[in-house]
């Protein structure tokens, strides 16, 4: 039986138990009401008897005064009085009789056997007391008003709704998209000719230098031997990190691998793309740990993954046990990625050196699986994988990816901000309902239009500047913007397909939050 089926059965059985408990609670409530009525009847009888007794005493006292009799010399039985105290009849005694409550045996639930026994007791009680367990138990646990309130909340909060945008929403989205597209065209452009790219490369250099100094100071504090002077420029920072975080898969040429020259087309310009351990994403982390544990190196080329043995790597993964080795491998992956982000120490160390080959944009390596298509590149026909490898060699790395992300982030920020302002002051919603996050159908449509407009401007700019040359065209394309647009498009298609259906993910998320509040 699947886990989902088991969970469904457990919840259904728990609902039946709650329904029986509700029946018991109602029975107790009815008994308490009956007891309360009977107690009131007894109180009334007692009050009536007290009144009659008072009348009786007054008559006796009056009689004694008329006959000049000392009242303390006689008992009340010596007088014949016409008043009798009220007593309970057989019917009245029966009316205040309280029925015995039906008890349900409770067992300690510690294993499946005791749980089954408890469920059997539930079934027996329900059959004896005519409690219907054949229907949905949770439906009977709620009142009509509670069911209506729940239905309204589900409709309002968890139904996937179609966007109801007006002309101003589309105008705002298009305006933001055009503005971000112009920023991308004039300030991002292509690698090595980007104004924003110059700034992001400088920030990357600063990050690498700060990281290297942090590691160097930690090594000095821990007494690492043969420690050279503290890195004071980008070249020394990269060099120190390369020595500090060595890995076995850092082969620059195919000839550095056993049988590599026969099956792998790799050089210093593209080895950061073809080596899976150099990818700054989850794929890179997985293959980096795998390669460090197995002593092999994983590459992606010609649409397939290749694993080869490095020549004389001399690498040994540190750690006394599996967890220590795993942590050491993770640190090596992080440190080696940082050493390659800003290029190699040899390239950056020259006075007139170039920007060097950085690491790829996250998941950019997946293009190497696309061993199809035909594009005219530098006088030759290339498939998509070979085209993207050439694009990477031209500087389309993570530093340029950060530059491309800036206009995309600006577009996203301004669309969300202007939607919130319009929602608050034009539609006069509350600030809580104007928060530009979560499932907002109009905001979702505006983001689709805004990022689509950005991509249109970006594509037109790339087509004009490339004059039909494929590599130049791709170099001018903003992959981050196109990825964001594709994601927004998938969300909109999903919404159109599942319109008026429950948003199960959102519902489960809210249920998890409520569960943590109750039992966290």
Range in 112-121, 149-158, 397-406, 490-499 the model is least confident about: 149-158
Give the list of residues 6+ apart from residue 423 with CB closer than 8 angstroms, or none. Answer: 429, 433, 434
- The pLDDT value given to residue 513: 72
Name which of 324, 291, 329 is nearest 310 in CA terms: 291
**293 vs 309: CA distance, rounded Å:** 13
- The pLDDT value given to residue 50: 81
Higher-confidence position of 95 and 285: 285
Look up tokens 């159908």; give the residue.
441
Instruction: Label the pairing between strands 297-301 and 304-308.
Output: antiparallel
Torsion over CA: 193, 194, 199, 201 (sign): negative
Higher-confidence position of 408 and 254: 408
**195-223 pLDDT, tens per residue?**
999 999 999 999 999 999 999 999 888 88
b/e code 80-102 from CB counts within 10 Å (16+ = b): eeeeeeeeeeeeeeeeeeeeeee
**266 vs 254: CA distance, rounded Å:** 5
**291 vs 53: CA distance, rounded Å:** 103
**234-279 pLDDT, tens per residue?**
888 998 999 899 999 888 888 888 776 777 888 888 889 999 999 9
Q: φ and ψ at 209, to 5 degrees?
A: -65, -45
Range in 38-47, 437-446, 453-462, 469-478 the model is least confident about: 38-47
- The pLDDT value given to residue 118: 73
**265 vs 32: CA distance, rounded Å:** 87
Contact 504, 163 (CB under 8 A): no
**329 vs 284: CA distance, rounded Å:** 12
- The pLDDT value given to residue 257: 82
Q: What is the pTM of this model?
A: 0.69
Mean of pLDDT values over 311-337: 89
**381-393 pLDDT, tens per residue?**
999 999 999 999 9
Look up tokens 């031209």; give the residue.
394
pLDDT at position 156 over 60: no
Q: Which two tokens stand for residue 216?
A: 């160097």
Contact 415, 450 (CB under 8 A): yes
- The pLDDT value given to residue 47: 81
**462 vs 485: CA distance, rounded Å:** 17
Instruction: Label the pairing between strands 304-308 and 375-377.
Output: unpaired
Q: Over the Cα atoms of the chain, what is R_g?
A: 41
SS3 content of the chain, % helix, strand, coil (to 5): 65, 5, 30
Neighbours of 44 (CB within 10 A): 11
Give the list of residues 6+ apart from residue 345 with CB closer than 8 angstroms, or none. Answer: 235, 236, 238, 239, 242
């Amino acid at each position: 039986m699947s886990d989902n089926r088991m969970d469904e059965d457990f919840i259904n059985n728990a609902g039946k138990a709650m329904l029986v408990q509700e029946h018991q609670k109602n029975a107790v409530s009815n008994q308490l009401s009956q007891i309360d009525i009977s107690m009131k009847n007894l109180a009334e009888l007692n009050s009536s008897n007290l009144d009659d007794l008072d009348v009786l005493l007054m008559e006796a006292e009056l009689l004694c005064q008329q006959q000049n009799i000392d009242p303390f010399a006689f008992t009340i039985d010596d007088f014949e009085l016409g008043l009798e105290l009220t007593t309970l009849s057989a019917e009245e005694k029966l009316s205040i009789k309280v029925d015995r409550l039906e008890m349900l045996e409770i067992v300690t639930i510690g294993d499946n056997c005791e749980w089954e026994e408890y469920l059997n007791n539930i079934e027996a009680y329900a059959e004896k007391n005519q409690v219907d367990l054949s229907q949905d138990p949770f439906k009977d646990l709620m009142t009509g008003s509670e069911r209506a309130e729940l239905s309204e909340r589900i409709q309002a909060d968890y139904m996937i709704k179609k966007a109801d945008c007006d002309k101003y929403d589309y105008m705002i989205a298009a305006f933001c998209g055009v503005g971000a597209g112009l920023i991308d065209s004039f300030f991002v452009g292509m690698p090595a000719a980007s104004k924003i790219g110059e700034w992001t490369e400088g920030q990357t250099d600063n990050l690498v230098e700060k990281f290297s100094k942090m590691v160097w100071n930690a090594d000095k504090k821990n007494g690492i031997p043969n420690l050279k002077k503290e890195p004071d420029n980008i070249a020394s920072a990269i060099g120190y990190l390369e020595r500090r975080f060595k890995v076995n898969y850092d082969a620059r040429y195919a000839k550095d691998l056993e049988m590599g020259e026969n099956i792998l087309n790799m050089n210093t310009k593209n080895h950061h793309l073809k080596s899976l351990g150099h990818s700054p994403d989850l794929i890179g982390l997985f293959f980096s740990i795998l390669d460090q544990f197995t002593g092999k190196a994983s590459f992606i080329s010609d649409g397939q993954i290749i694993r080869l043995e490095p020549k004389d790597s001399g690498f040994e993964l540190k750690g006394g046990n599996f967890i220590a080795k795993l942590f050491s491998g993770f640190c090596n992956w992080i440190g080696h990625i940082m050493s390659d982000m800003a290029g190699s120490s040899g390239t950056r160390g020259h006075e007139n050196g170039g920007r060097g080959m950085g690491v790829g944009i996250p998941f950019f390596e997946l293009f190497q699986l696309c061993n199809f298509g035909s594009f005219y590149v530098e006088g030759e026909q290339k498939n998509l994988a070979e085209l993207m490898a050439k694009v990477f060699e031209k500087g389309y790395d993570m530093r340029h990816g950060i530059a491309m992300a800036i206009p995309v982030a600006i577009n996203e920020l301004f669309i969300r901000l202007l939607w919130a302002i319009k929602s608050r002051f034009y539609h006069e919603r509350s600030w809580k309902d104007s928060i530009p996050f979560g499932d907002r159908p109009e905001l979702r449509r505006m983001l689709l239009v805004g990022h689509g407009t950005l991509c249109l401007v970006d594509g037109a700019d790339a087509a004009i500047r490339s004059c039909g040359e494929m590599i130049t065209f791709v170099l001018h394309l903003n992959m981050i913007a196109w990825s964001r647009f594709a994601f927004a498009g998938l969300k909109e298609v999903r919404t159109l397909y599942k319109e008026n259906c429950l948003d199960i993910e959102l519902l489960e998320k809210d249920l998890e939050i409520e569960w943590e509040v109750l039992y966290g």
